[in-house]
Amino acid sequence: MAYKTVVVEDDPQMLDEIVSVLRRSTDFEVSSTYKRVNNALGQAGMFHPNLFFIDIENEEMLNAIPAFVDIFPGAFLLGMMEQWDPLIARRAMEGGATGCIIKPFTAKDVGEYLQIYTVRGQHKPARLISFFSPKGRAGRTTLAAILALLIAEKTGERVALIDADLQFGDLPIFFDVEPKRTVVDATQDIKLLTPVSFAPYFYKIKENVFLLSSPERPEYAELVAPEALVEVVMMAENIFRYVIVDLPAGFNPMSLNVCRISDTVFITTMINSGFEVNHAKKTMEMFDSQADGRRRVHTVFTRVNPFTEEQRQKIADQLGYPVDVMIPNEYRMISMANSGRLASGLPMDTLLMKTISDMADKVIAAGR
């Protein structure tokens, strides 16, 4: 059955071109067209449309996306842009758009975009989650990988893992894969990519879990500009419902930029000698100085022993902040990660897995 389609575009020449493309395909029935957003909102309902194309480079139309969602629940809403703009795309998704598309386009293009956005998950903004640690060997990467697997399993929605630890990323080793494309390729190509052409850069780990790999060699990290990585992460939001970024240890422009655009940042610290709590405290103080830092930033302490509420309070007293998540030690999981068997099956009967499962439930609940 053909989509009952409405096009909202204020450029007459572009409007004619879009309508001509759609009418040449049996997949689309162009029910009506509008140059003004108020007319579309007030009149399109009589045609019972289930697919809208809306020019979101027009500020008034972009701001009207939530109104379209309210009046036409269940309809696909594709925001149109002539050149990809990650900030406009994010605003459209936050308003409830199904996704964004580059114009002019072909009927085949529309089908590919709709396919990506249909399997992505709910028509809601992506959850962008970053894992940051003051120093290395904090269990950050293992935690990010397990969380991605659990979220995908619990929600059935698509989850991306982006290995942004550019010099020493371990996620390909954890899953025993050798992706052909990496973060370097994505950042070099990002100005030429669309969500459809970007999707193949991710390697499928298992059902609904995809990896954008770290570079093959440490020196390739120099090829990644922080601004380009931010654009890569933001475009991934259009393809995946959850985007989880594993950042390198320590502060640098790349980590700070990604944390800035993330809705959740997990500051991950391993309990060992006691100095780690001081490092975490300095990190929290830096994020706390940002306007909404405390709302977005959560503390995670790994390898906690003894794993008790008394220990949680002891750490919190030293830290000066609540301890949001405690992770117990589990050598079996470390062995699985190091051997590349992380995606082969998680031992859910362990305390560690139950703890991370609870963490996944809270992440999911926050995005509903």
pLDDT of 250 reads 86
| CB environment 98-110: b (16+ within 10 A), e (fewer) | bbbbbbebeeebb
Strands 127-132, 325-328: pairing kind: unpaired
- The pTM for the full model equals 0.93
* 183 and 327 part of one domain: yes
Could you say which of 77, 103, 120 is where a domain stops?
120
CATH number for the domain harbouring residue 69? 3.40.50.2300
pLDDT of 332 reads 58
* 245 and 152 part of one domain: yes
CATH number for the domain harbouring residue 361? 3.40.50.300
Helix residue spans in 251-291 (DSSP H): 253-261, 275-288
- For the cut 70, the answer to whether the pLDDT of residue 293 exceeds it is no
* 141 and 79 part of one domain: no
* 244 and 314 part of one domain: yes
pLDDT of 329 reads 80
* 48 and 77 part of one domain: yes
* 62 and 159 part of one domain: no
What is the per-residue DSSP string for 149-175?
HHHHHHH---EEEEE--TTT--HHHHT
Instruction: Tell me the mean pLDDT in the region 27-31.
Output: 96
* 208 and 105 part of one domain: no
Give the pair of three-digit tokens for residue 1: 């059955």
- Cα–Cα distances in angstroms (integers) from residue 160 to residues 143, 171, 181, 240, in the given order: 14, 12, 14, 6
What is the per-residue DSSP string for 202-219?
SEEEETTEEEEBPPSSGG
* 51 and 138 part of one domain: no
pLDDT of 343 reads 64
Give the pair of three-digit tokens for residue 19: 């309508």
Position 310, amino acid: E
Q: Classify the phi-psi angles of 192: left when phi > 0, otherwise alpha if psi is within -120 to 50, otherwise beta.
A: alpha
Could you say which of 120, 144, 170 is where a domain stops?
120
Residue 94: exposed, middle, or buried by beta-carbon count in 10 A (0-12, 13-18, 19+)?
A: middle
Q: Give the 3-state secondary structure of residue 49.
A: coil
pLDDT of 333 reads 57
* 233 and 166 part of one domain: yes
Could you say which of 120, 147, 176 is where a domain stops?
120
- For the cut 80, the answer to whether the pLDDT of residue 208 exceeds it is yes
- For the cut 60, the answer to whether the pLDDT of residue 157 exceeds it is yes
Structural domain count, the chain: 2
* 273 and 144 part of one domain: yes
| Stretch among 269-283, 297-311, 339-353 having the lowest mean pLDDT | 339-353
pLDDT of 1 reads 73
pLDDT of 285 reads 86
Give the pair of three-digit tokens for residue 306: 């003894």
* 221 and 273 part of one domain: yes
Find the domain containing 53 and state its range: 3-120
pLDDT of 294 reads 61
Of the candidates 47, 202, 142, 128, the one whose C-alpha atom is nearest the C-alpha of residue 343 is 142
Query: Between 121 and 349, where is the model more confident?
Result: 121
Give the pair of three-digit tokens for residue 62: 């972009």
- For the cut 70, the answer to whether the pLDDT of residue 176 exceeds it is yes
- Cα–Cα distances in angstroms (integers) from residue 181 to residues 187, 244, 310, in the given order: 11, 18, 46
* 108 and 192 part of one domain: no
pLDDT of 234 reads 96
